[in-house]
A and B are shown apart, each in its own frame.
Chain A
Amino acid sequence: MGGSSGPRLSGMQRQVLGLYRGFLRAARLKSIEDRQKIESIVSAEFRHNAKHVDRKNFLYIEYLLRRGKKQLDQLKSPDIDGLSSLDVGLSQTHHTKA
């Protein structure tokens, strides 16, 4: 994207990292407890997918990006502490709800 010669990140990698940064920024606006919970859940989810999703599986990564953006929009709402909506995203990893 943009064709800048600087970093060797693909457009998709940049989107993933941008989404991750977006989650961490949104977490900053929550209480300290919620922030820590959100950070650990988000970090686990991204690292899980980084490890287990084939980096050539663009369709699936695009789907994950779209889902992540929706979850991030929800998380940004001040009434939401973020845990339940993110737990849905982690359902495969058998996270117990708080």
Chain B
Amino acid sequence: MALRAAILRHVRVPVQILAVRSSERSLFGAGSFFRSMSSHGDDRPTKDEVTERVLSVVKDFPKVDPSKVSSDVHFQKDLGLDSLDNVEIVMALEDEFKLQIPDLEADKIDSTHLAIEYIYNHPMAG
């Protein structure tokens, strides 16, 4: 309690300044500040963000015509890539989202649609 009192005494200076606006507001401000910090920790990208980043990785792939890329294109059927390119694209997605996708899963990701679904549902996607 002594410590708390000591801290409060020190904190008084900024509080007094903030009190010009509203001391209650500054308390809420602090609360929402911490809340946003904590939610940032497990803040996974939204589906729109995942979609946008997946599409930009695919568009940047050297052999891909960016104008053909949408959120539902098949890498080999629609973009004319081969299975080796497919491996490279999935690896590039791993780099982008800081993931390691196991071989069994990686072999199944053959379209932007599946890539978006897989990454969006991955707990570690960053």
With a cutoff of 8 Å between Cβ atoms, the chain A residues found around residue B91 in the complex are: 21, 24-25
* Shortest Cβ gap from B97 to chain A (Å): 15
Within 8 A of B (CB), among A31-45: 43
Asked if B107 is an interface residue, CB under 8 A from chain A, the answer is yes
Contact in complex: A13, B83 (CB < 8 Å): yes
In Å, the complex CA distance between A50 and B81 comes to 14
- Please determine whether A7 and B107 come into contact, CB atoms closer than 8 angstroms: yes
Query: Residues of A contacting B87 with CB < 8 Å?
Result: 17, 20-21, 24
Answer yes or no: B84 CB below 8 A from chain A CBs: yes
Interface size on B, residues (CB 8 A): 13
Q: How far is the CA of A21 from the CA of B88 in the complex (A)?
A: 8
Check A20–B108 contact: CB distance below 8 A: no
C-alpha spacing A23/B91, complex, angstroms: 11
Shortest beta-carbon distance from A23 to chain B in Å? 10
Which residues of B have CB within 8 Å of A14? 103, 107
Question: Contacts of A17 on B, CB cut-off 8 Å?
Answer: 83-84, 86-87, 103, 107
Q: A7-B108, A50-B84 are in contact. List 5 more A-B contacts (CB 8 A).
A: A18-B103, A20-B84, A21-B91, A43-B88, A47-B84
A21 adjacent to B106 (CB under 8 Å): yes
**Docked pose: A18 CA to B110 CA in angstroms:** 15
* Cβ-defined contact, B107 with A46, below 8 A: no
7 A–B pairs (Cβ distance < 8 Å), ordered by A: A9-B83, A14-B103, A17-B86, A17-B87, A20-B87, A21-B103, A50-B82
